[in-house]
Amino acid sequence: MKTIFVMVKCELGKAYAVADEVVQQVEEVSEVYSISGEFDLMMKFYLSDNADIGHFVTERVQVLSGIKDTFTIIAFKAFSPDAAAG
């Protein structure tokens, strides 16, 4: 399983509509956060190991109405207190 984060710039006034559309339309989404700063939203996706990240982002995320720009981060390992105990 691959974990990626996609930070999204939205058209003015469209952040909540974009967040709602991603949650409704993209089954790989785990969480969507509204954030401050240069980007409006941060989305967390879980992709299958054989998924092509570039195709996923360009064909499933960037094409959604209201999205102006994206920045993708690929995660390698998750750290948490629960994982350290086991």
The CATH number given to whatever domain includes residue 25 is 3.30.70.920
Asked if residue 18 belongs to a domain, the reply is yes
What confidence score (pLDDT) does residue 84 get? 65
On whether residue 48 sits in a domain, the answer given is yes
CA 3 to chain CA mean position, Å: 9
| Domain carrying residue 27 | 2-76
Q: What is the C-alpha radius of gyration for the chain, rounded to an integer number of angstroms?
A: 14
On whether residue 24 sits in a domain, the answer given is yes
Please check whether residue 81 lies inside any domain of the structure. Answer: no
85 domain residue, yes or no: no
Q: Is residue 86 part of a domain?
A: no
Which residues, 6 or more positions from 82, have their beta carbon under 8 angstroms from its beta carbon?
none
**Digitized pLDDT (tens) for each residue of the chain, 86 residues in all:** 999 999 999 999 999 999 999 999 999 999 999 999 999 999 999 999 999 999 999 999 999 999 999 999 999 999 989 866 55
